[in-house]
Amino acid sequence: MSLSFSDVHTLLEQKYEEFNRPNFNDDDPVGIPHQFSKKEDIEIAGFLAATIAWGQRKSIINNARKIIQLMDNEPYDFIINHTKKDLKRTEGFVHRTFNAQDLSQFFQSLQQLYKVHGGLEEVLCKSPDVAANIAHFKEVFFENAESLRTFKHVSNPSKGSSAKRINMYLRWMVRNDQRGVDFGIWKKLSTSNLMLPLDVHTGNVSRKLLLLERKQNDWKAVVEISDQLRKFDPKDPIKYDFALFGLGAIDHF
C-alpha cells in the first residue's frame, strides 16, 4: 500500500474526527480523571491512571479505580493531607509490576511535589522541551524516595525511553479542543510542543503509512514521528494520536 502525503493527511483527519469523541472515555484510562472537576483532582487522578496504563485496558481501569478509592475519592485532599499511617491502605495493591510499595512512594512523592514544588504542571512544563521536562520531573519526583525499585515506573527520554505514558498524560492535560476527551487545563506548555505517545499500535500504523522509518519504539522514533505529524498540523500535531491509535487498536489497520 502506498498513499500520497495528501491521502495520509486526509485519512488521519478523518480518523481523528471519528475517534476523538466522549465515548472514547468509556473504555480508556482517560475516563478516570473525567470523574472530577477540580484541576488538582483531575491532574492527580490522570497521572496515577496514566502511570499504570499498560496491559489490558479493563485491568488498567479497574486498578485505577481502586487507587482513586484508596484516596477516598478525593485525590488532591488525600495527597496533601495523608500521613504515614494512611499509606498502610496501599497494602495488597498490585498492577502488573506496580505494587503497594510503588503506590505508597507515588503518594509520598506527589505530596512533596505539591507542598514544595508547586504541583505536577509546574514541574512537568518547565520549558518547551518535553524530553528535558520529563527528565527534570523524574529527578524532582524521586528526590526523597526511600526505594530505588520505584524509579522504573517513571520513564526518562534521556535514557532512550519513548515515555509513552507520560506523553499520553501530557496530551490529556495540555490539548484543548473542547471534544470531551482531553482536558486542556494546563497552560504552561503549548500543544505544538507535545510528543506522540508511541506504542505498538501508533508505531505500527505510522510505519505502514510511511511516516516512521525507525524500527525501535524509542525516543528517537518519538521525535521522528512527532516531527512528521507537525507537517500536517504544526499547532496541534498530537491530535493524530487518536487516529493512529484508533487505526491500530480498533480498526486493526
The predicted-structure confidence for 55-68, as pLDDT tens digits, reads as follows 999 999 999 999 99
133 pLDDT band, cuts 50/70/90, is very high
Hunting for cell 512527532 — which residue is that?
Answer: 226
Cα angle 74, 78, 84; round to 5: 155
Relative orientation angle of helices 39-51 and 57-70, to the nearest 10 degrees: 130
Cβ burial of 26 (10 Å; 0-12, 13-18, 19+) is exposed
| Exposed e or buried b per residue across 168-205, where buried means at least 16 C-beta atoms within 10 angstroms of its C-beta | bbbbbbbbeeebebbbebbeebebebbbbbbbebbbbb
Cα–Cα distance measured from residue 118 to residue 104, given in angstroms and rounded to the nearest whole number:
20
pLDDT in tens, 94-130: 999 999 999 999 999 999 999 999 999 999 999 999 9
Grid cell digits, residue 97: 509490576
Are 222 and 167 contacting, i.e. CB atoms less than 8 angstroms apart?
yes
Type of residue numbered 78: F
Helices (H), 160-199: 164-174
Q: Residue 73: its pLDDT value, please?
A: 98
Hunting for cell 505530596 — which residue is that?
Answer: 111
Q: How many Cβ atoms are within 10 Å of 222's Cβ, its own excluded?
A: 26
DSSP lists the bridge partners of residue 197 as none
Hunting for cell 512528521 — which residue is that?
Answer: 228
Closest C-alpha among 37, 104, 28 to residue 76: 37
Cα–Cα distance measured from residue 228 to residue 234, given in angstroms and rounded to the nearest whole number:
10
Closest C-alpha among 185, 163, 161, 162 to residue 172: 185
Domain boundaries, the chain: 5-250
List, in sequence order, every beta strand (DSSP E) within 25-106: 94-95, 98-99
pLDDT in tens, 148-200: 889 999 999 999 999 999 999 999 999 999 999 999 999 999 999 999 999 99
